Amino acid sequence: MEVLVCTTPGEFAYQLVERPSLTPGNTIIKIKRIGICGTDLHAFEGTQPFFSYPRILGHELSGEILETEGAPGFHVGEAVTFIPYFNCGKCIACRAGKSNCCTSIRVSGVHIDGGMTEYLSIPSDALVHGDGLSFDELALVEMLSIGAHGIRRANVKQNETVLVVGAGPIGLGTMEFARIAGAKVIALDIHEGRLAFCREKLGVSDTINAATDHVLEKLRSITQGDMPTVIIDATGSLKAIHAAFDYLAHGGSYVLVGLQKGDICFNHPEFHKREATLMSSRNAVRADFEHVITCMKKGLIDPTIYITHRAAFDQVKDQFESWLNPAQGVIKAMVEIR
């Protein structure tokens, strides 16, 4: 079978390897769709934390069960996605139901080889039923689950004001699930094209361009002086993360979904006087995947609007670098394998 390997930053190579064999407790999936996410882009750039080369990228995946063992309720030929964060099941986080931050977690396409391949072997307990959704939709469940998990971490309430910093795919999904939770959403980014997408495709009425607007003044105006009670960073940009501490309401919560390699600094008196809450949000758990699929089936979210670019598997090597160019207007690139 053919795989696409990121050999070093900025370099891909197609390679022929042996197809995986079925082993106890695992399932072989014929991959059908691969969503390209920020992690893949950062790995290609050489800026992704917890990463080593060579690596087969890809964890936004959908496919068809080819062979399976230890997966009651699943059957050969079924369309599925899966939870790509493989956990130990024994550590303090796993015992507490937080498998998303297992102490020895192995994320597909990050710590171990992922889904830019024709066939993939995964633990059967990671499978998620397709439930009638298309391969396109199923490949976007993981991405949307990241945002759903962040909203759940923040415990967003009806009529709260949620500021989402970063209108990339993760930020867009976060906005969607803030809306579904009943919140008033504000989008903040530096790219006008992405803010236009928020307004036109997601119905986000309040958007702020950090490159051209006075952010504090606009936030005060939108919130009538209260400021956002929840801020979620989906950029991973140190500059954006630092700036957003000043945007938080008294008594508010700041959730870091985006990942930054460096140290985070903030003014302690300013943070303390707000009695603010700072937390991280890593990956997602099965409940988030199920929530996303339920929302899709109810028509509360249409994931296919995010797909702006498509490529066949044999075109990825040549097209991948262009997806990093903001001028291309990429929201979500989707790779198809026939």
| Interval 86-125: pLDDT, tens | 999 999 999 999 999 999 999 999 999 999 999 999 999 9
Q: Where are the domains of the chain?
A: 2-139+302-336, 147-280
Please tell me the distance from the alpha carbon of residue 99 to that of residue 88, in angstroms, as a whole number: 8
Burial grade of 248 (CB within 10 A; 0-12, 13-18, 19 or more): buried
- Domain 2-139+302-336, second-level architecture: Alpha-Beta Complex (3.90)
Tell me the pLDDT band of 39, cut-offs 50, 70 and 90.
Answer: confident
Quick check: 277 pLDDT over 80?
yes
At residue 317, the pLDDT reads 95
Quick check: 10 pLDDT over 90?
yes
Please tell me the distance from the alpha carbon of residue 191 to that of residue 162, in angstroms, as a whole number: 19
The arithmetic mean of pLDDT across residues 28-43, rounded, is: 94
Please tell me the distance from the alpha carbon of residue 251 to that of residue 157, in angstroms, as a whole number: 14
CA-CA-CA-CA torsion sign (187, 279, 221, 189): negative
Matching fold, domains 2-139+302-336 and 147-280: no
CB of 14 closer than 8 Å to CB of 22: no
Quick check: 47 pLDDT over 90?
no
Quick check: 338 pLDDT over 90?
no
Tell me the pLDDT band of 159, cut-offs 50, 70 and 90.
Answer: very high
User: pTM of the entire structure?
Assistant: 0.94
The number of beta carbons lying within 10 Å of the beta carbon of residue 84 is: 23
At residue 38, the pLDDT reads 86
Quick check: 218 pLDDT over 80?
yes
Average pLDDT, the chain: 96
Which class does domain 147-280 fall in? alpha beta
Both tokens of 5, joined, read 């390997």
Quick check: 321 pLDDT over 80?
yes
| Interval 290-312: pLDDT, tens | 999 999 999 999 999 999 999 99
Element (H, E) at 201: helix 192-201
CB of 210 closer than 8 Å to CB of 240: yes
The arithmetic mean of pLDDT across residues 160-171, rounded, is: 97
Quick check: 148 pLDDT over 90?
yes
Quick check: 49 pLDDT over 80?
no
Q: What is the largest CA-CA distance in the chain?
A: 61
| Interval 230-253: pLDDT, tens | 999 999 899 999 999 999 999 999
Q: Which of 3-12, 257-266, 305-314 has the lowest mean pLDDT?
A: 257-266
At residue 50, the pLDDT reads 72
Angle at the Cα of 259 from the Cα atoms of 158 and 227, rounded to 5 degrees = 35
